[in-house]
Amino acid sequence: MAKKNGTHALDVTVQCPACHEFGVFPTWDVIDTVDEKLKERVHFDEDLFFYTCPHCHAKIHMESKCLYIDRDKKLLVWHIPDPKERVSSQEVQDALGAPSFTKYTCRACLTWGEWREKIIELESSYDDRLYEIIKYGAYQLLSEDGKERLPLEAYHIDYADDSHDADKLALVFMQKDAKGMAYVYPITDRLKEVTQDIFLPIVEQIADANRKAQFDRFSYSWAKQFVTYVIKAAEEDKNRETFGNLIGFWVKTIGDEIFRQEVK
């Protein structure tokens, strides 16, 4: 029996912002990884969500709602460009008629970039929320000049090398105004362990961790709020010295493991 394929294509009418002519952009609102070629394209085709105007040839980045389903890994990842929009697994179930998605890990993302990054994080054996915490922490170690040169908008998690090993991911800092120029820093096992030891118990405690079938946005901005909250709570705690030391140790580990340098 053929596997059920929930992939759903649609044509979106686009008005070109450059020349104002209309055109059609063929895209998808559901991508099911049963369709292996399409899965490949989500991971590696950088032009997948670009519309090229047939009139003036302007290249436009499209943002429209799309659900990624991986039935083997039990993942549902929504790209939902509207930050206010909420979705539930019931809505997915109604649309797809599948028996149940309650055992799935569900995430929502604001942009195509975040969406692809989240899919890569979820395919690894490490917690995606901890990846976001590492990503946030490492960016804080850049100087003001570094932040200017390596803008946050283009900073992301990706495969560390061409082996595309799901457990070998890296922090990628793209250079501003230098197309394709990037610094790639592999995320080491030691940094993953230290981050997990320090933060996972708290993530599980306050982020309602094992709640499946809820579409949460565990993004860089979530990690920022989370780490800020944790540091504030630690300052108010009577054991603050202990926890402050742990955070200090974590920051030092990022410096050692990612940037290979002393952090003062």
Chain residues in the site for Zn ion (CB under 5 A): 16, 18-19, 53, 55-56, 58
Least distance in Å: CB of 12 to Zn ion? 15
Least distance in Å: CB of 235 to Zn ion? 54
Least distance in Å: CB of 62 to Zn ion? 14
Least distance in Å: CB of 187 to Zn ion? 40
Treating both helix axes as pointing N-terminal to C-terminal, what angle do 189-206 and 128-140 enclose, rounded to 10 degrees? 110
Whether the CA torsion 155, 250, 194, 197 is positive or negative: it is negative
Which is nearer to Zn ion, 16 or 170 (by Cβ)?
16
Which is nearer to Zn ion, 12 or 56 (by Cβ)?
56
Q: Please name which of 157, 123, 121, 126 lies closest in space to residue 139, comparing C-alpha atoms.
A: 157
Which is nearer to Zn ion, 14 or 98 (by Cβ)?
14
Which is nearer to Zn ion, 54 or 83 (by Cβ)?
54
Burial 184-209 (b: 16+ CB within 10 A, else e): ebebbeebbebbbebbeebbeeeeee
Neighbour-count burial of 134, counting CB atoms closer than 10 A to its CB (0-12 exposed, 13-18 middle, 19+ buried) = buried
Which is nearer to Zn ion, 54 or 151 (by Cβ)?
54
Contact yes or no for 7/81 (Cβ under 8 A): no
Q: Contacts from 171-178 at CB under 8 Å and sequence distance 24+?
A: 171/134, 171/135, 171/138, 171/258, 173/142, 174/150, 175/149, 175/150, 176/148, 176/149, 176/150, 176/151
Which is nearer to Zn ion, 27 or 214 (by Cβ)?
27
Least distance in Å: CB of 180 to Zn ion? 25
Least distance in Å: CB of 79 to Zn ion? 24
Scan for tokens 């008005």, then name that residue: 15
Q: What is the greatest pairwise CA distance in the chain? A: 66
